[in-house]
Amino acid sequence: MHLMIPHASALDEAARHAFSSLALPNLSALLARLSPAETWGGDEFSPQPPHHLALAALRGQAEPSAAAWGVNAGPELAWALMSPVHLAVGTDGVDVLPPAALRLSESDAARFAALLHELWPQDQGWQWRLLDATRWAIGHASSLDGLQAASIERAAGRPIEPWLPQSRLLRRWQNEAQMMLHEHPLNVERESRGEHAVNSVWIGDIGRSNGRPADVSVDARLTEPLLNGDLAAWAEAWQRLDAGPLAGELTSLTLCGDRFARRFTSQPLSLIERLKRRWQTPDVTATLEAL
């Protein structure tokens, strides 16, 4: 079994401190048994997180298309992931609050999505899928082709400026959505309850799927707490991972951070290599810091 763990580490100092103090005995045992193999990614400024690049390679695609994967689509339509967000204006600029911070119910999500159908109408060939409260997918046979934008997993919890799309069309769509949402009764209702307004949407993860599955199981339980900046919850999720899936008989493990996704697999070892591994304990912290 091949297990992939997105957001297994992060580059900021608070996250480094959090995982340096974690006790992960089953991960340590796995790293002692498995050998480094492929590496995907490059740097933390790539518009796509490394686990998307790894999944694209495992599916035989040149580029990631997380939205299309989310709807289990074939190559007929291109898809984009649309995430409802709150853009928080501060003295240092505009931050993209993580979608989970909105605490949208499924019913509220459906109401906001129905409102935005006007901008991407079905009678013009658009298709909609509500994957969950904070992940909506829009698909089209041609209008999304050639468009590139950063994944919401890159922008969430960070200043917006480095991640804004270069495409004028994508910026226009985002501006039109913001105007439609501004002081809308749905948001007035939310603010009266002390909740964040849905004042924008993030459109990213655009592409087509080749329809091929990836022979990998993705455990994304670390994603939401890390994007929310809840490092205590992220550390607890790591402990549950170590006690659960990492305690099983894995033949392949891919750990993903901000820069790289690295795969570790079972490989034949010489007698000397087996003896070295018996007496050398893997440095789990160094492995995670290098991602």
Report which of 207, 189, 269, 200 is spatially closest to residue 47, judged by C-alpha positions: 207
Identify the domain boundary among 207, 233, 258. Answer: 207
Q: Are residues 177 and 252 in the same domain?
A: no
Both tokens of residue 28? 């340590």
Identify the domain boundary among 161, 177, 207. Answer: 207
Contact yes or no for 237/22 (Cβ under 8 A): no
Q: Are residues 195 and 221 in the same domain?
A: no
Name the pLDDT band for 47 (thresholds 50, 70, 90). very high
Note the pLDDT of residue 279. Answer: 61
Report which of 269, 145, 154, 142 is spatially closest to residue 202, judged by C-alpha positions: 154
Note the pLDDT of residue 270. Answer: 57
Name the pLDDT band for 265 (thresholds 50, 70, 90). very high
Q: Are residues 185 and 101 in the same domain?
A: yes
Q: Are residues 143 and 29 in the same domain?
A: no
Sign of CA dihedral 181, 83, 79, 173: positive
Distance CA 247, CA 27 (A): 8
Name the pLDDT band for 215 (thresholds 50, 70, 90). very high
Both tokens of residue 7? 């957001």
- pLDDT over 60 at 275, yes or no: no
The mean per-residue pLDDT over the stretch 40-48 comes to: 94
Q: Are residues 252 and 179 in the same domain?
A: no
Q: Which residues, including other chains, have CB under 8 Å from residue 18's CB and lie 6 or more apart? A: 231, 234, 235
Both tokens of residue 101? 């911070």
Q: Are residues 222 and 284 in the same domain?
A: yes
Q: Are residues 55 and 169 in the same domain?
A: no
Contact yes or no for 174/94 (Cβ under 8 A): no
Report which of 138, 147, 141, 140 is spatially closest to residue 165, judged by C-alpha positions: 147
Q: Are residues 31 and 90 in the same domain?
A: no
Determine the structural domain holding residue 29 and report its residue range. 2-60+213-289
Q: Are residues 158 and 72 in the same domain?
A: yes
Q: Which whole-number Å values give the CA distances from 118 to 54, 112, 113, 177, 209, in the listed order?
A: 35, 11, 9, 10, 26
Note the pLDDT of residue 30. Answer: 92
- What's the pLDDT tens digit per position in 91-141? 788 999 999 999 999 999 999 999 999 999 999 999 999 999 999 999 999
Q: Are residues 78 and 202 in the same domain?
A: yes
- pLDDT over 80 at 40, yes or no: yes
Beta bridge partners of 136: 82, 130
Name the pLDDT band for 225 (thresholds 50, 70, 90). very high
Q: Are residues 255 and 122 in the same domain?
A: no
Distance CA 155, CA 22 (A): 26
Identify the domain boundary among 207, 225, 255. Answer: 207
- pLDDT over 80 at 162, yes or no: yes
Name the pLDDT band for 203 (thresholds 50, 70, 90). very high
Compute and round to an integer the Cα radius of gyration of the chain. 20
Beta bridge partners of 93: 90
Beta bridge partners of 90: 93
- pLDDT over 80 at 192, yes or no: yes
Q: Check: pTM over 0.85? Answer yes or no.
A: yes
Backbone angles phi, psi at 215, to 5 degrees: -80, 70
Contact yes or no for 103/190 (Cβ under 8 A): no
280 versus 169: the higher-pLDDT residue is 169
Distance CA 265, CA 4 (A): 12
Q: Identify the helix (H) or strand (E) that includes residue 170.
A: helix 168-181
Q: Are residues 130 and 252 in the same domain?
A: no
Distance CA 118, CA 61 (A): 32
The mean per-residue pLDDT over the stretch 47-54 comes to: 97
